[in-house]
């Protein structure tokens, strides 16, 4: 290949210690040493309960926690720190919007639009809202390559649509969805849009002001941060009008026998003891990602994806889901092998020290729509190498023979 690859594995302790081709970054990313060190240093140097202690250590913990919030604000280009809510993950962020915004603003006769490609975490909350409010849940059905043509969007997103929730990048097909067009159409009629950026934030710039998104959710662990830290961005006007999702801890200003006065944003939505170590490590992950450069991340991942795609196409019996253009997969290659169950594919690859996902990928309606019960998925990141892809292709090429098929 002509692309000038950079080897980032040296920055990732697990990848240096384990002889493995890790191709499951869409499930969770590996962590660079700088992120692991940032979390370690928080607990070694500033471990106290943020927002509570007036002593020096407590103030230091609070300062580091709030500095992490500011780092996320800059990363998303939000207007204010008040618009950045720390959660556990994308799932919790979406549920916060469903319970706190949607149940109070969506009514019988309204429509909620999602795509058939959504992760279950961006589907089940809206099914719940539709059941409880009497609203209608409408599915945008993609083309077989994952694309959503403008004419299909315009036919579905009409004046009754008061909320749309759309994944920025499909976790199965890897396609980048036209969130800008969806936002434009929904806003015409006064609706709001939530963007699930779990699969996009680690790979491309997500500028909430440029998108004009009302809500954006993503998980730290897919962006090389620890598990258990997530983010919800929301426009300040919307968040101010929403009731708390959970109650207790530092989300209050005062409490009496008869009620409570809630804290100002963003703390109104951060009940209980916060994950300060995770937030600090998320800030370090953003620092590392931006030190590599999102343009470099994108270029290397595209080159690796193209290399893997072209190699897979040469293997008899391998079928790749989604677009025929490898540049439209965003590092995600879901596939089947004729006559072989995806779990067997993953097991055989694992025996060759290649890690891929197998199953329905929390997207059962999409797979049913595509006529596939389950599939395997290789998901790449910039820290992968051509050697990882070569190992994957060699193992994949032997799957049918391993299962007893004569080639």
CA distance 127 to 129: 6
Q: Which of 18, 32, 21 is nearest to 297 (CA)?
A: 32
Q: Which of 391, 386, 200 is nearest to 304 (CA)?
A: 386
CA torsion, ordered 140, 145, 146, 151, to nearest 10 deg: -50
Q: What is the secondary structure of 157-208 as a DSSP string?
A: --TTEEEEEEESB-TTT-PBP-HHHHHHHHHHTT-EEEEE-TTTTTTS---H
CA 3 to chain centroid: 27
**Is the bond preceding 266 in cis, omega lying within 30 degrees of 0?**
yes
Distances in whole angstroms, Cα of residue 383 to Cα of each of 11, 60, 175, 260: 9, 33, 21, 48
Tokens of 47: 């471990």
Tokens of 36: 């692991």
Q: What is the distance in angstroms between the CA of the first residue and the CA of the last residue of the chain? A: 28
Buried b (16+ CB within 10 A) or exposed e, 34-68: ebbebbebbeeebebebbeeeeeebebbbebbbeb
* Tokens 């959504």, residue located: 118
Neighbours of 400 (CB within 10 A): 21
* Tokens 């089947």, residue located: 336
Contact partners, residue 18, CB within 8 Å, separation at least 6: none
CA distance 363 to 115: 11
Active site residues: 362
Nearest 5 degrees, angle CA 310-CA 312-CA 318? 140
CA distance 361 to 134: 29
């Amino acid at each position: 290949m002509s692309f000038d690859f950079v080897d980032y594995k040296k920055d990732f302790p697990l990848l240096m210690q384990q002889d493995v081709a890790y191709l499951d970054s869409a499930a969770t990313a590996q962590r660079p040493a700088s992120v692991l060190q940032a979390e370690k240093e928080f607990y070694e140097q500033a471990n106290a309960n943020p927002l509570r202690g007036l002593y020096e250590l407590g103030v230091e913990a609070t300062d580091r926690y709030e500095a992490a919030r500011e780092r996320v604000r800059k990363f998303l280009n939000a207007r204010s720190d008040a618009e950045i809510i720390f959660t556990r993950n994308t799932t919790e962020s979406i549920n916060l919007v469903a319970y706190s915004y949607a149940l109070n603003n969506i009514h019988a006769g309204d429509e909620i639009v999602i795509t058939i490609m959504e992760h279950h975490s961006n589907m089940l909350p809206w099914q719940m809202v539709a059941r409880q409010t009497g609203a209608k849940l409408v599915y945008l059905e993609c083309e077989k390559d994952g694309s959503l043509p403008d004419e299909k969007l315009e036919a579905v997103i009409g004046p009754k649509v008061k909320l749309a929730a759309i994944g920025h990048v499909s976790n199965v097909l890897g396609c980048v969805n036209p969130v800008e067009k969806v936002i434009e159409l929904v806003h015409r009629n006064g609706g709001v849009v939530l963007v699930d950026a779990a699969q996009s934030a680690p790979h491309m710039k997500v500028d909430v002001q440029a998108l004009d998104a009302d809500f954006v959710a993503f998980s730290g662990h897919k962006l090389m941060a620890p598990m258990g830290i997530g983010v919800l961005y929301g426009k300040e006007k919307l968040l101010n009008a929403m009731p708390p999702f959970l109650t207790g801890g530092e989300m209050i200003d005062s409490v009496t026998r008869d009620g409570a006065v809630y804290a100002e944003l963003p703390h109104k939505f951060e009940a209980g003891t916060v994950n300060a170590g995770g937030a600090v490590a998320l800030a370090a992950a953003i620092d590392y990602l931006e030190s590599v450069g999102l343009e470099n991340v994108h270029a290397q991942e595209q080159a690796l994806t193209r290399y893997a795609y072209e190699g897979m196409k040469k293997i008899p019996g391998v079928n790749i889901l989604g677009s025929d253009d490898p540049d439209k997969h965003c590092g995600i290659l879901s596939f089947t092998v004729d006559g072989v169950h995806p779990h067997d594919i993953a097991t055989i690859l694992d025996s060759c020290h290649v890690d891929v996902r197998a199953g329905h990928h929390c997207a059962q309606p999409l797979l049913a729509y595509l006529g596939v019960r389950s599939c395997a998925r290789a998901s790449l990141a910039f820290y992968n190498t051509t050697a990882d892809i070569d190992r994957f292709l060699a193992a994949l090429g032997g799957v049918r023979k391993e299962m007893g098929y004569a080639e």
